[in-house]
Amino acid sequence: RPPVLEIGGLSVDYGVGDGAVRALHDVDLTLRRGEVLGLAGESGSGKSTLAYAVTRLLSPPGVITGGDVRYHPREGEPVDVLAMTPQELRAFRWQEVSIVFQGAMNSLNPVHTVRTQLTDVLKAHRPRMSREERTGRARELLSLVGISPDRLGAYPHQLSGGMRQRVMIAMALALEPEIVVMDEPTTALDVVMQRQILRQLVRLREELDFSVVFITHDISLLIEFSDRIAIMYGGRVVEQAGAADIYRDPRHPYSHGLLHSFPALHGPRRELTGIPGSPPDLRAMPSGCAFHPRCPKAFEPCGLRTPHLAPVTDTGTDTDTGRSVACWLNDDRRSGES
Ligand code: ATP
Ligand code: SF4
Ligand code: MG
C-alpha cells in the first residue's frame, strides 16, 4: 500500500529554552492508504502530541522543533504539512485529515442541534452546496454512522453518549477526508458500545477508503481493529509492526509488557498496570534507552546509548509489514548513537 502520511524525525517540545521538555523524539512513522494504524503507550507517552503535531493543531507551549510530515494526495506531488500556510491548513483539515479528539463526545455544542453542527461544517467548506443539499448530506452522514436521520433535530443532551460519539465521527467524515485521526474516541463508553462503533468505523473505511490513526489505551481493541501498531514510550516510537505480528511476537520489552498486561484478546478490560515502575518524567529522562530502569532485559549498552528505531528482519510466517524496533536486544539492527 502506498503511503498517505509520512512522518520523519518529528520532534516536539513543550516550552522553550531552559524550561522546555521534549515530548516527541525523532518520530518516524508511515501511515499507508486505507489502513488502520493503532498507536499505543502509557499515559504521557506522546500519543496526543503526535496527533496534534501532524494535523498542525499543536498549540503553545507546544512547538515542533524538527522533522517533516509529508502528505501524499491521491493526485499530484506530496505536500509538506509543516510548511502549509494558514489557508492551506484550513483546507487540509477536515477535507484531507480530520480528527476526533480525546473526550470529543462532550465537545458538541449543547445549544445547537445535530443538524446545525453537521451543516455548519459543510457550510464552511462547501459554500456552493445549497441548504437542501447540506441537509441531505447531514441525513446521509447520520445514517452512515448508524443513527436514524430522524434525529437530525436533536440536541446533544437528547442523545446517548454512544450517539454523541457517532455524531462526532459523522462530522469528521463530512468532507470525505483521506485520513481520520481518532484520539481515544470511545474511552468514555462501555466496551460493547466501543466495539460497535469501531466495527462500524472499520466498515466505513472499507466503503469510503480512508486511513485511520487510532489511539487507545485498550490493547484488546487496538489489536482487534488495527492493521499495524506503533508502540510509544517516552515520546519515541519503540516498535512498529503488523498487528498480528506484534501480538504474537512483540520484540521490544516494553511492547511485551504492554501486551502482557492484557492476558486475552477478548478477556476483561484492564488498566495498564502490567509493567512495574512508572512512565519516565520528561524533565528527567533516563539516559540511553528511556525504558532501561524498568526493563527486565536491560544489559550493558542500555543505560549508555539510545537505541533508534531500525528495521528488523522477521523470520517465520510474518507477513511483510516492515517491522522496526528500537532496542539493543535486536542484534540485526543497524545504528545507534549516544
Ligand atoms: P494520554 O494517554 O494520557 O492521553 P498521551 O500519550 O496522549 O497521554 P500527551 O498528551 O501527548 O500524552 O503528552 C505527552 C507529554 O507531554 C506528557 O508528559 C505531558 O505531560 C506533556 N504535555 C502535554 N501537553 C502539555 C502542555 N500543554 N504543556 C506542557 N507539557 C505538556
Ligand atoms: Fe530493555 Fe535495553 Fe531494549 Fe531498552 S534497549 S528495551 S533497556 S533491552
Ligand atoms: Mg492523549
Q: What is the pLDDT of residues 189-211, one digit of tens each?
A: 677 777 887 888 888 898 889 99
pLDDT at 200: 85
pLDDT in tens, 14-37: 999 888 999 999 999 999 999 999
Q: For the chain, give the percent of residues with pLDDT over 70.
A: 88
Q: Strands of 179-183's sheet, edge to edge?
A: 97-100, 179-183, 211-215, 36-40, 228-233, 236-242, 324-325, 310-311
Please report the pLDDT score of residue 186 as a whole number. 62
- Ligand 2: atom nearest CA of 295 is 1
> Ligand 2 centroid to 303 CA: how many Å?
8
Q: How far is the CA of 106 from the centre of ligand 3 (A)?
A: 16
- Identify whether 160 is part of a domain: no
The pTM assigned to this predicted structure is 0.91
Name the more confident of 72 and 276: 72
Cell triple for 329: 536486544
To test the pocket of ligand 2, the residue of 324, 328, 333, 338 to mutate (highest count of ligand atoms within 8 Å of its CB) is 328
Residue 292, ligand 2, Cβ within 6 A: yes
Quote the pLDDT of residue 332.
52
pLDDT > 60? residue 338 = no
Residue 269 pLDDT > 60: no
The per-residue pLDDT for range 54-112, each reduced to its tens digit, is 999 999 999 999 999 999 999 999 999 999 999 999 989 889 999 988 666 678 999 99
Structural domain of 18: 3-96+177-337
Residue whose cell numbers read 465521527: 169
As to burial, measured by CB atoms within 10 angstroms (0-12 exposed, 13-18 middle, 19+ buried), residue 310 is middle
> How close is the Cα of 215 to the center of ligand 3, in Å?
8
253 C-beta closer than 6 A to ligand 2: yes
Pocket probe mutation, ligand 2, options 232, 329, 331, max atoms within 8 Å of Cβ: 329
Q: At residue 181, does pLDDT exceed 50?
A: yes
Reported confidence tier of residue 165, pLDDT bands at 50, 70, 90: confident
pLDDT of amino acid 275: 81
Whether 294 is in the pocket of ligand 1, judged by its Cβ within 6 Å, is no
Cβ neighbours of 164 (radius 10 Å): 23
Mutate to test the pocket of ligand 1, among 11, 16, 45 (most ligand atoms within 8 A of CB): 45
Residue 115 lies in a domain: no
Identity of residue 68: D
- For ligand 2, say whether the CB of 233 is within 6 Å of any of its atoms: no
From the CB of 47, is ligand 1 less than 6 Å away? yes
Residue 284 in domain: yes
Q: Which ligand is nearest to the CA of 218?
A: 1
Q: Is residue 57 part of a domain?
A: yes
Tell which atom from ligand 1 comes closest to the C-alpha of 232: 6
Find out whether the beta carbon of 19 lies less than 6 Å from any atom of ligand 1.
no
The ligand whose atoms approach the alpha carbon of 293 most closely is 2
Query: Burial code of 15-37, b = ≥16 C-beta within 10 A, e = fewer?
Result: eeeeeeebbbbbbbbbbbbbbbb
Residue 101 is assigned to a structural domain of this protein: no
Q: Which of 98, 125, 120, 95 is nearest to 109 (CA)?
A: 120
Q: Quick one: average pLDDT of 139-146?
A: 92
Number of other residues whose CB lies within 10 A of the CB of residue 257: 22
Q: Is the pLDDT of residue 260 over 90?
A: no
Contact 45 CB / ligand 1 (< 6 Å): yes
What's the whole-number average pLDDT of the chain? 88
pLDDT value for 319 = 52
Query: Per-residue pLDDT for 322 more than 90?
Result: no
Shortest-distance ligand to the CA of residue 49: 1
Per-residue pLDDT at 323 exceeds 70: yes
Ligand whose nearest atom lies closest to the CA of 306: 2
CA 201 to ligand 2 center in whole angstroms: 36
In a domain, residue 111? The reply is no
CATH number at residue 310: 3.40.50.300
Structural domain total, the chain: 1
Residue 39 lies in a domain: yes
For range 164-185, the mean pLDDT: 90
pLDDT at 265: 46
* 222: in domain: yes
Which atom of ligand 1 has the smallest separation from the CA of 44?
Answer: 12
CA distance 319 to 338: 32
Residue 282 C-alpha to ligand 1 middle, in angstroms? 10
User: Which is the closest atom of ligand 1 to the Cα of 51?
Assistant: 11
